[in-house]
């Protein structure tokens, strides 16, 4: 379908879809984000199809026929965010949210809710603590405290349906740009909006585009960086899976703004669903004349290629990513030259992350002023975060820049939990923000507004947007070690400070955790960390020591206890713990004696046992098997 | 069949336009065919894309997704954590290797059926010694139990032709 | 802003003018501040990995000066306390992962890491966790690779790829496991390494070094039964002095001869004598090729063994274009083995021929089977310039105080033409000096041929010889050479005669020469060699009376049968990876099948062998012949001019096409 008179045809498709949807009765949306799929949501969706048909209702997954009011539209959505309660099922128009839905619940939902308008109480979300039952999505505190803008459609629309994206006003921003705005105007609008890059440093997107636009060399490229590699971050994956057309639309606008006719989406290999969705979205867009040699029937071209990563965290760094697209080892190269001047294959290139690009159409659609009305002056708009760790509600969230840390952790997160997930009194010990490149925030930062500059002022960064909440039982040295292990594994090995420095920092942290440290260990660790931070070649190397430096700053006493007293205040470092059996609690059942792999436990039946700390290897097998919580210190 | 595989490799190279910039997609697709990246095939790819073999090798070893060693259809991973070690995991390792004619240098049988590896702690010390075979976890394994698992697999394979 | 300020920046408060320096590091060096680096090399692309050239830039913080464009008004600090601590830490991190046995390292006292550790006063390395030891690769005669000593600056990788376009080594693995290695961790001898040794020349540490022959040579000298003779390459005499405090380019010919005599060499000869022979044979061959109509033109020179190996690996289809002349080293070896035993009252078996060369590839060349007689190599051992310096020092000789001595005759007498062989352009000039007279019957009025001298990687000259015009090209650097071979293939090469030297500047820039950080070193050595030529009485090979005598007494006619036997050689194609083949057979090979082996080497590949292989594979498949036919692809059958080459059973088919191959298979199948 080329030479399409795109305007009217696309409008028609949107209008037809809208009408069909209005005509349909209810809509069942099954979350098919990766989290819910892992919990069996695809089986749930299949069961719906079968059961709805069995109940004599018509099922329509793509609304191709003219439906009557008996039709139930069944669709799968991208990530709805509340991953921990999945599989999630939303029923429109009543906006009922069923949580942890299993295959065997489906018949009941069809019978009661779809046929008889009854709500099934046991499948509703109950807020822990207040025990309040939430009937509708907009009563769930996890959602009410958020401000879902970029994620607004992600989790409701069918990511495989171009008509639905069009019906929601999709590609209108791109059309506005291609049909009536100059490249300079687009760059100006984005700069006016104050949009800053969501992937790391927060560089102003409009300025980046303008720098690329003014380059004379052609061709130029637009790259969407979907190589989201931080452990515990999945915002970009959710967007690519849940609303792929928004990402493509953002790329098209960027392409028009800088004068590029080709774009690449670089998706990490570990996101097969995102690859599939983007691939299909590109194919659909090409078929409808949205992408191709005559975009929207104009004489402008824009094509998008998809490149799958091959398993290297460092490829999230833009120069490494481009090396990878060029078929080389993903090793960063010095900047300058910046990609805007000399990027992919030496050509001017604009490279933005997924969320940034998905935000762009909203700015063009609603205008820079509307965008600026949310968030704070230097960080306008909203930001998605992946909220995980010791909080009641974990998942994907979106909040305006500038909300306080406490709001996120306590209101959206719903409070702090113990290691088993049970809500506890008290507050968080630390929140790690920005993954292995970020730092930690503590109680003193409770009221800190979460935005680019406030975080930078306390030595942290928004980074990719991972938020890991940690309770009082967390050992901060071990946390630093965990992230250092990650960066060390993922260092590309090119520059000396990162390659050798992360290795030695990891070894020094091991010394601290395993009781081999001396009074020189911490000063040496700090010295190496400073060198790596200041002198590494790329951004990943420069930020690799952040978890160490930040925990050293906020939890120096905890480090010192490990070194001076060979003691782990949180009781987590196995080598520093002294295992013992509580004689009050032990009933002498001998379960632990039989389980111990090294025969470190002795004692007669029915009498309290003893554990030999010298023989014990701290594997914890005894504690696992003990029904009386008598094993202490492991 | 090897001839078919070679044809597929040529197809892949043609589809990617024999463009050296497409090296990574080429390697991804070729690995899907062979299950790993054989050295001779890498040299062939290098010749076809007009790249030095050392360069192709460098790319293949940079990315975690690529493997230059074929793995067996059944991968035995033996926990080498402290608890398992103390509980005699090395005896089990030796029993498996003896049974399959493998060694530290050669970890996969020539028919590509079995691979035997050690891994650092699997975190299931209470079940020590622990072994995984593909996705299944076996606890409190003895040398006899471990070799029985092999026998079962062989028997199943024979039954299913 | 006035012009002065426009073009200056400030280094530690001192005003420095910006000329056309490509980066801040060069500007800082101009201010006489020697910022340390491992990975910065002005002839290679920017890498930015060692992070030692860090500076503080006002408003920007800490940056690597190699990666910064100099801008007017910049304020740069190079040695603040913080910078010193970071540089020290970076060095310590490198040392923590580096063997500490400096005294036994081939690079001792010339290692940049050692030098910097001293400059920064590092006495103790607090980190002590080296990664797993990696095996040393000494599987070839030319170079030794010790990955444990590698600082991963990548200079060798970039030189091999960018200047030589060989790509024999590259980075492999990731993170702490990164290493520089040939493909598949093979030895350098098993891949397309051409042994030019420039990787060793640019290596700041002892990770790649020439494979030393010092012990073997000293053992031969110590053996009372043997007669040990030396041949000294031209480029040696203007570089050896650097090891003993002379200025680069100073000729130390006579002390050098004296030193070798003191060391116990029985005779000391000059490779330049053999270079005179080379000129005569090679020019004769060239004139013959011109006369026959130009089919085998352009003629490439063959003195450089690294270039020869390059051609054998990468341009096997063009081997007929190479001069068949042996290199001067091997002409000398051949003649010495045949004529010296009688002169020196010994036997060929007891004569030990030692070459002293500026080159690592010569070590490999001496081992080529073409240069063996009765199982013994013509040249027994090859030392580099640096190895000779080491032996001289080891013997305690005070080089500067030695009484000059002269070369032994007859193989020590040479013309200036044989001496300038060490410079890029020298072979061409020598050939012109000889050929002009040969073609026109009279000598060119000018001895020097300035048209072929110079620095550029590719230089061209048109030389008139009577009514002929010879179009010559002089290239150094193998990437430049390969650009010309591609032109020959495309039929667009405008030259008749092409001189190729692998190393920058020719042999004077060889990898066996003294290590130097002087950027003008090559120009100085070059000027030195031209000066030696000027100082000699004879400038034309045809005037060398001992050359004439050799033809009369030993070689016979120029270009004749005996001359061919003694002074010429043959070439063969070489696989990229030794011994690799791609088996396309069924997994249940029975050993009874008909073996069909299709060559997929570079040349056959270009001639369509892959299509042939695919068609064949398909044919086997559709006709279910898999049980009876085993299809294989190997990477070279060494008949590159006649590809595609296919072996069926024990028959070899050249210029094979699918129908021939299918026909043969069908025939064999029917017969069995």
All structural domains of chain A with their residue ranges: 19-141, 170-372, 382-470, 476-564, 578-632
Chain C closest-CA separation from residue A240 CA (Å): 28
C581 phi-psi bin (left φ>0, alpha ψ -120 to 50, beta other): beta
CB contact under 8 A, A330 and B81: no
Tokens representing residue B140 in the block? 């409190």
Identify the closest residue of chain C to A502 by CA–CA distance: C176
C42 vs A562, higher pLDDT: A562
Cα–Cα distance measured from residue A348 to residue A218, given in angstroms and rounded to the nearest whole number? 7
Under DSSP, the state recorded for A136 is: B
User: With contacts defined as CB-CB under 8 Å, which chain B residues touch C602?
Assistant: 47
Whether omega for the bond prior to residue C644 falls within 30 degrees of 0, making it cis, is yes
User: With contacts defined as CB-CB under 8 Å, which chain A residues touch B30?
Assistant: none
First to last CA, chain A: 66
Buried b / exposed e over C191-230, threshold 16 CB at 10 Å, is bbbbbbbbbbbbbbbbbbbbbbbeeebbebbeeeebbbbb
Give yes or no for a contact between A519 and A560, defined as CB atoms under 8 angstroms apart: no
**Residue C1: band (very low, low, confident or very high) from pLDDT cuts 50, 70, 90:** very low
**CATH number of the domain enclosing C642:** 3.40.30.10
Give yes or no for a contact between A160 and A273, defined as CB atoms under 8 angstroms apart: no
ipTM comes to 0.88
Q: What is the pLDDT of residues A26-60, one digit of tens each?
A: 889 999 887 787 778 889 999 998 998 888 777 77
**Residue C190: band (very low, low, confident or very high) from pLDDT cuts 50, 70, 90:** very high
Q: Beta partners for A13?
A: none
Same-domain pairing of C337 and C439: yes
Residue C593 has pLDDT above 80, yes or no: no
The catalytic site residues of C sit at: 282, 285, 303, 323, 362, 365, 370, 507
How many residues in total does chain A contain? 634
Give yes or no for a contact between C566 and C334, defined as CB atoms under 8 angstroms apart: yes
Q: Which of residues 118-147 of B touch A (CB under 8 A)?
A: 125-126, 128
Chain C closest-CA separation from residue A328 CA (Å): 11
Residue C588 has pLDDT above 90, yes or no: no
Same-domain pairing of C273 and C326: yes
Choose the final residue of a domain: C50, C79, C108.
C79
| Strands laid side by side in the C646-648 sheet | C581-583, C629-634, C594-599, C646-648, C651-653
Give yes or no for a contact between C586 and C623, defined as CB atoms under 8 angstroms apart: no
Cα–Cα distance measured from residue C495 to residue C460, given in angstroms and rounded to the nearest whole number? 8
- Whether C572 is covered by a domain: the verdict is no
Pick C600's closest partner by Cβ from B47, B58, B68. B47
Cα–Cα distance measured from residue B40 to residue B48, given in angstroms and rounded to the nearest whole number? 12
Please name the helix (run of DSSP H) or strand (run of DSSP E) that holds residue C487, with its range, or none: helix C478-490
Cα–Cα distance measured from residue C439 to residue C452, given in angstroms and rounded to the nearest whole number? 19
Residue C12 has pLDDT above 50, yes or no: yes
Cα–Cα distance measured from residue A609 to residue A369, given in angstroms and rounded to the nearest whole number? 71
Neighbours of chain A (3+ CB pairs under 8 A): B, C
- Number of domains chain C is built from: 4
Which whole-number Å values give the CA distances from C115 to C78, C110, C130, C152, in the listed order? 19, 8, 21, 17
Same-domain pairing of C364 and C487: yes
pLDDT on residue C45: 92
Same-domain pairing of C527 and C494: yes
Residue range(s) defining the domain that contains residue C130: 92-210
The beta strands (E) that lie in C328-467 are given as 351-357, 372-373, 376-377, 381-384, 458-465
Identify the closest residue of chain A to B60 by CA–CA distance: A329
pLDDT on residue A490: 87
> Which residue reads 């464009």 in tokens?
C69
pLDDT on residue A317: 92
Same-domain pairing of C623 and C602: yes
Pick the CATH number of A578-632 from 2.60.40.1080, 3.30.70.20, 3.90.1150.10, 2.40.50.140: 3.30.70.20
Q: Beta partners for C57?
A: C61, C76
- Whether C410 is covered by a domain: the verdict is yes
User: With contacts defined as CB-CB under 8 Å, which chain B residues touch C581?
Assistant: 40
The answer, for C53 touching chain A at a CB cutoff of 8 Å, is: no
Whether omega for the bond prior to residue A219 falls within 30 degrees of 0, making it cis, is yes
Q: Beta partners for A397?
A: A385
Residue C4 has pLDDT above 70, yes or no: no
Same-domain pairing of C547 and C588: no
Residue C3 has pLDDT above 60, yes or no: no
Q: What HEC string does C148-166 produce?
A: HHCCCCCHHHHHHHHHCCC
The answer, for B89 touching chain A at a CB cutoff of 8 Å, is: no
The answer, for C50 touching chain A at a CB cutoff of 8 Å, is: yes
> Which residue reads 């990548």 in tokens?
C154
CB contact under 8 A, A328 and B59: yes
Residues 6 or more apart in contact with residue C95 via CB below 8 angstroms: C113, C117, C122, C125
Pick A597's closest partner by Cβ from B58, B63, B83. B83
User: Strands B136-138, B131-133: parallel, antiparallel or unpaired by DSSP?
Assistant: antiparallel
pLDDT on residue A221: 98
Cα–Cα distance measured from residue C648 to residue C613, given in angstroms and rounded to the nearest whole number? 13
Pick C576's closest partner by Cβ from B6, B43, B64. B43
Give yes or no for a contact between C646 and C612, defined as CB atoms under 8 angstroms apart: yes
Residue C508 has pLDDT above 70, yes or no: yes
Same-domain pairing of C548 and C588: no
Choose the final residue of a domain: C23, C58, C79.
C79
- Whether C246 is covered by a domain: the verdict is no
The answer, for A345 touching chain B at a CB cutoff of 8 Å, is: yes
The beta strands (E) that lie in A206-348 are given as 221-226, 262-267, 303-308
C598 φ, ψ to 5°? -100, 130
Chain B closest-CA separation from residue A458 CA (Å): 35
**CATH number of the domain enclosing C137:** 3.30.70.20
Same-domain pairing of C173 and C225: no
Q: What is the pLDDT of residues A168-209, one digit of tens each?
A: 999 999 999 999 999 999 999 999 999 999 987 789 999 999
In CATH, what number does A476-564 get? 1.20.1440.230
Task: List, for chain A, all residue ranges whose pLDDT scores fall below the cut of 70.
Answer: 1-8, 61-70, 231-232
- Classify C555 as helix, strand or coil: helix
Same-domain pairing of C665 and C552: no
Please name the helix (run of DSSP H) or strand (run of DSSP E) that holds residue A388, with its range, or none: strand A382-389
Please name the helix (run of DSSP H) or strand (run of DSSP E) that holds residue B117, with its range, or none: strand B114-119
Helix %, strand %, coil % of chain C (to 5): 45, 15, 40
Same-domain pairing of C121 and C102: yes
pLDDT on residue C123: 84
- Classify A353 as helix, strand or coil: strand
C597 vs C585, higher pLDDT: C597
Chain C closest-CA separation from residue B116 CA (Å): 22
> Which residue reads 């002005």 in tokens?
C42
A81 phi-psi bin (left φ>0, alpha ψ -120 to 50, beta other): left
**Residue B86: band (very low, low, confident or very high) from pLDDT cuts 50, 70, 90:** low
Domains by residue range for chain B, with CATH: 2-62 (1.10.10), 74-159 (3.40.30.10)
Residue B84 has pLDDT above 80, yes or no: no
Give yes or no for a contact between C653 and C664, defined as CB atoms under 8 angstroms apart: yes
Pick B3's closest partner by Cβ from C173, C577, C621. C621
Give yes or no for a contact between C540 and C433, defined as CB atoms under 8 angstroms apart: yes
pLDDT on residue C131: 67
Residue C134 has pLDDT above 80, yes or no: yes
pLDDT on residue A145: 85
pLDDT on residue C488: 93
Q: Which of A293, A247, A248, A255 is nearest to A177 (CA)?
A: A255
The beta strands (E) that lie in A42-114 are given as 58-60, 71-77, 89-92, 96-98
CATH class of the domain at A170-372: alpha beta
Same-domain pairing of C435 and C512: yes
Residues 6 or more apart in contact with residue C376 via CB below 8 angstroms: C337, C348, C349
Residue C662 has pLDDT above 90, yes or no: no
Identify the closest residue of chain B to C184 by CA–CA distance: B57
Residue C25: other Cβ atoms inside 10 A? 23
Which whole-number Å values give the CA distances from C291 to A481, C285, C441, C563, in the listed order? 76, 10, 16, 20
Chain A closest-CA separation from residue B161 CA (Å): 31
Question: How much of chain C exceeds pLDDT 70, in percent?
Answer: 95
Q: Which of residues 42-71 of B touch A (CB under 8 A)?
A: 58-59, 62-66
Dihedral sign (CA B54, B57, B62, B63): positive
Cα–Cα distance measured from residue A74 to residue A89, given in angstroms and rounded to the nearest whole number? 10
Cα–Cα distance measured from residue A176 to residue A24, given in angstroms and rounded to the nearest whole number? 31
Q: Which of A225, A270, A245, A502 is nearest to A361 (CA)?
A: A245
Choose the final residue of a domain: C58, C79, C100.
C79
Q: What is the pLDDT of residues C514-536, one digit of tens each?
A: 987 677 899 999 999 999 999 99
Tell me the pLDDT of chain C averaged across its residues.
Answer: 90
- Whether C484 is covered by a domain: the verdict is yes
Q: What is the largest CA-CA distance in chain A?
A: 88
Average pLDDT over residues C631-639: 67
Give yes or no for a contact between C189 and C228, defined as CB atoms under 8 angstroms apart: no
Cα–Cα distance measured from residue C206 to residue C146, given in angstroms and rounded to the nearest whole number? 7
The answer, for A1 touching chain B at a CB cutoff of 8 Å, is: no
The answer, for B57 touching chain C at a CB cutoff of 8 Å, is: yes
Pick B61's closest partner by Cβ from C173, C584, C585. C173
Same-domain pairing of C34 and C125: no
> Which residue reads 């004696």 in tokens?
A593
Whether omega for the bond prior to residue A336 falls within 30 degrees of 0, making it cis, is yes
In CATH, what number does A382-470 get? 3.10.20.600
> Which residue reads 């060399």 in tokens?
A217
Give the HSE-up count for residue C10: Cα atoms under 13 Å, Cβ half-sphere. 11
CB contact under 8 A, B51 and C167: yes
Cα–Cα distance measured from residue C94 to residue A504, given in angstroms and rounded to the nearest whole number? 11
CATH class of the domain at A19-141: alpha beta
**Residue C13: band (very low, low, confident or very high) from pLDDT cuts 50, 70, 90:** very high
**CATH number of the domain enclosing C44:** 3.10.20.740
Residues 6 or more apart in contact with residue A159 via CB below 8 angstroms: A76, A77, A78, A241, A242, A243, A244, A245, A277, A281
């Amino acid at each position: 379908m080329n030479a399409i008179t795109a305007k009217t045809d696309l409008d028609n498709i949107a209008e037809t879809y809208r009408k069909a949807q209005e005509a349909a009765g209810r809509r069942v949306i099954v979350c098919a984000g990766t989290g819910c799929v892992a919990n069996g949501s695809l089986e749930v969706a299949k069961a719906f199809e079968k059961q709805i048909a069995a109940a004599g209702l018509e099922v329509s997954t793509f609304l191709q026929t003219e439906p009557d009011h008996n039709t139930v539209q069944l669709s799968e959505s991208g990530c709805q965010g509340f991953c921990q309660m999945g599989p999630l099922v939303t029923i429109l128009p009543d906006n009922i949210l069923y949580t942890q839905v299993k295959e065997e619940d489906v018949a009941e939902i069809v019978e009661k809710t779809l046929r008889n308008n009854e709500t099934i109480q046991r499948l509703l979300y109950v807020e822990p603590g207040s025990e309040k039952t939430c009937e509708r999505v907009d009563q769930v505190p996890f959602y009410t405290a958020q401000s879902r803008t970029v994620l607004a459609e992600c989790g409701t629309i069918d990511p495989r349906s171009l008509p639905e994206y069009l019906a929601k006003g999709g590609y209108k921003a791109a059309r506005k740009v291609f049909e009536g705005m100059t490249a300079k105007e687009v760059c100006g609008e984005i700069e006016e909006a104050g949009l800053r890059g969501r992937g790391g440093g927060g560089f102003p997107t409009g300025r980046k585009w303008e720098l690329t636009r003014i380059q004379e060399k052609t061709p130029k490229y637009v790259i969407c960086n979907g190589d989201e590699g931080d452990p515990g971050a999945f915002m970009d994956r959710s967007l690519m899976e849940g609303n792929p057309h928004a990402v493509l639309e953002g790329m098209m606008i960027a392409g028009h703004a800088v004068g590029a006719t080709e774009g690449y989406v670089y998706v990490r290999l570990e996101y097969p669903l995102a690859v599939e969705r983007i691939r299909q979205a590109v194919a659909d867009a090409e078929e409808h004349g949205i992408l191709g040699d005559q975009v929207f029937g104009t004489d402008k071209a824009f094509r998008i290629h998809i490149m799958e990563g091959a398993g290297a965290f460092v490829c999230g760094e833009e120069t490494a990513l481009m090396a990878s697209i060029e078929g080389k080892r993903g090793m960063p190269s010095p900047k300058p030259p910046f990609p805007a001047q000399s990027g992919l294959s030496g050509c001017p290139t604009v490279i933005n992350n997924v969320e940034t690009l998905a935000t762009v159409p909203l700015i063009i659609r609603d205008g820079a002023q509307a965008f600026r009305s949310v968030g704070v002056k230097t960080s306008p708009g909203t930001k998605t975060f992946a909220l995980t760790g010791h909080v009641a509600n974990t998942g994907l969230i979106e909040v305006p820049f500038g909300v306080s840390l406490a709001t996120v952790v306590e209101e959206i997160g719903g409070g702090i939990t113990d290691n088993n997930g049970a809500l506890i009194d008290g507050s968080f010990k630390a929140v790690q923000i920005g993954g292995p490149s970020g730092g930690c925030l503590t109680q003193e930062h409770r009221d800190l507004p979460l935005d680019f500059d406030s975080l930078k002022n306390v030595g942290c960064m928004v980074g990719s947007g991972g938020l890991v909440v940690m309770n009082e039982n967390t050992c901060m040295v071990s946390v630093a070690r965990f992230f250092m292990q990650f960066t060390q594994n993922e260092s590309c090995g090119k520059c000396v400070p990162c390659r050798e420095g992360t290795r030695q920092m990891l070894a020094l942290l091991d010394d601290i955790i395993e009781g081999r440290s001396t009074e020189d260990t911490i000063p040496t660790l700090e010295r190496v960390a400073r060198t790596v931070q200041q002198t590494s070649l790329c951004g990943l190397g420069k930020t690799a020591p952040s978890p160490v430096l930040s925990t050293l700053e906020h939890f120096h006493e905890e480090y010192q206890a490990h070194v001076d007293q060979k003691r782990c205040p949180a009781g987590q470092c196995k080598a520093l713990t002294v295992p013992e059996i509580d004689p009050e609690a032990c009933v002498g059942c001998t379960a632990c004696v039989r389980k111990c792999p090294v025969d470190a436990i002795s004692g007669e039946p029915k009498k309290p046992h003893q554990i030999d700390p010298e023989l014990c290897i701290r594997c914890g097998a005894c504690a696992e098997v003990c029904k009386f919580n008598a094993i202490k210190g492991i | 069949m090897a001839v078919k595989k070679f044809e597929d490799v040529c197809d892949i190279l043609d589809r990617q336009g024999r463009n050296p910039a497409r090296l990574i997609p080429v390697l991804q697709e070729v690995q899907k065919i062979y299950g790993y990246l054989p050295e001779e095939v890498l040299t062939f790819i290098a010749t076809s894309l007009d790249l030095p073999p050392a360069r192709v090798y460098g790319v293949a070893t940079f990315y975690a997704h690529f493997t230059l060693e074929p793995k067996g259809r059944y991968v035995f991973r033996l926990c080498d954590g402290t608890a398992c070690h103390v509980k005699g995991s090395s005896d089990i390792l030796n029993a498996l290797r003896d049974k399959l004619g493998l060694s530290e240098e050669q970890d996969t049988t020539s028919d590509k059926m079995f691979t035997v590896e050690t891994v650092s702690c699997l975190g299931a010390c209470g079940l020590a010694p622990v072994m995984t075979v593909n996705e299944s976890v076996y606890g409190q394994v003895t040398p006899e139990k471990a070799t029985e698992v092999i026998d079962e697999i062989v028997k199943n394979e024979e039954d299913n032709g | 802003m006035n012009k002065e300020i426009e073009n200056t920046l400030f280094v530690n408060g001192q005003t420095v003018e910006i000329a056309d320096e490509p980066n801040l590091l060069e500007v800082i060096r101009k201010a006489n501040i020697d910022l340390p680096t491992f990975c910065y090399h002005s002839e290679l692309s920017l890498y930015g990995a060692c992070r030692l050239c860090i500076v503080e830039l006002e408003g920007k913080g800490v940056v690597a000066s190699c990666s910064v464009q100099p801008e007017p008004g910049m304020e740069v600090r190079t040695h603040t306390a913080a910078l010193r601590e970071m540089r020290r830490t970076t060095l310590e991190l490198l040392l923590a992962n580096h063997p500490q046995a400096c005294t036994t390292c081939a690079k001792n006292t010339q290692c940049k890491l050692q030098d910097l550790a001293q400059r920064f006063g590092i006495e103790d390395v607090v980190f002590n966790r080296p990664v797993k030891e990696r095996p040393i690769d000494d599987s070839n005669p030319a170079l030794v690779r010790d990955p444990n000593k590698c600082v991963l600056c990548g200079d060798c990788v970039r030189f091999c790829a960018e200047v030589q376009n060989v790509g024999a080594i590259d980075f492999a693995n990731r993170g702490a496991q990164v290493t520089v290695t040939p493909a598949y961790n093979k030895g350098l001898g098993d891949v397309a390494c051409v042994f030019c040794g420039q990787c060793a020349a640019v290596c700041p540490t002892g990770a790649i070094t020439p494979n030393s022959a010092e012990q073997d040579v000293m053992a031969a000298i110590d053996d009372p039964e043997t007669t040990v003779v030396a041949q000294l390459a031209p480029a040696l005499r203007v570089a050896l002095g650097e090891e003993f405090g002379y200025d680069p380019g100073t000729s130390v010919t006579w002390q050098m001869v004296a030193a070798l005599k003191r060391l116990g060499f029985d005779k000391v000869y000059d490779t330049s004598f053999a270079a005179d022979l080379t000129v005569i044979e090679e020019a004769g061959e060239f004139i013959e090729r011109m006369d026959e109509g130009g089919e085998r033109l352009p003629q490439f020179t063959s003195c450089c063994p690294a270039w020869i190996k390059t051609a054998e690996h990468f341009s096997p289809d063009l081997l007929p274009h190479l001069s068949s002349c042996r290199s001067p080293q091997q002409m000398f070896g051949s003649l010495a083995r045949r004529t010296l035993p009688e002169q020196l009252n010994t036997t060929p078996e007891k004569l030990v021929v030692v070459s002293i060369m500026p080159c690592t590839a010569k070590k490999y060349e001496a081992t080529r089977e073409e240069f063996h007689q009765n199982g013994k190599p013509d040249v027994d051992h090859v030392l580099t310039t640096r190895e000779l310096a080491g032996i001289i020092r080891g013997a305690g000789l005070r080089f500067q105080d030695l009484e000059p001595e002269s070369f032994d005759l007859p193989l020590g007498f040479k013309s200036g033409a044989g001496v300038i062989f060490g410079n890029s352009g020298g072979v061409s000039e020598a050939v012109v000096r000889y050929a002009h007279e040969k073609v026109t019957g009279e000598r060119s009025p000018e001895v020097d041929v300035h048209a072929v001298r110079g620095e550029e990687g590719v230089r061209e000259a048109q030389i008139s010889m009577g009514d002929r015009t010879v179009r010559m090209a002089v290239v150094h650097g193998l990437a430049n050479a390969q650009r010309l071979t591609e032109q020959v293939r495309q039929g667009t090469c405008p030259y008749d005669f092409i001189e190729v030297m692998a190393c920058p500047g020719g042999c004077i820039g060889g990898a066996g020469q003294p290590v130097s950080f002087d950027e003008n070193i090559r120009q100085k050595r070059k000027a030195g060699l031209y000066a030696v030529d000027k100082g000699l009485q004879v400038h034309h090979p045809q005037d060398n009376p001992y050359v004439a005598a050799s033809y009369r007494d030993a070689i016979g006619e120029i270009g004749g049968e005996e001359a061919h036997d003694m002074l010429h050689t043959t070439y063969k194609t070489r696989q990229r990876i030794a011994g690799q083949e791609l088996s396309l057979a069924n997994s249940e090979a029975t050993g009874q099948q008909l073996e069909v082996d299709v060559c997929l080497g570079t040349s056959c590949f270009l001639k369509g062998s892959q299509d042939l292989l695919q068609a064949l594979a398909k044919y086997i498949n559709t006709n279910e012949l898999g049980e009876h036919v085993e299809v294989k692809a190997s990477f070279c059958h060494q008949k590159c001019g006649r590809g595609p080459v296919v072996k069926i059973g024990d028959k070899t088919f050249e210029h094979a096409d699918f129908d021939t191959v299918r026909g043969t298979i069908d025939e064999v199948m029917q017969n069995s």
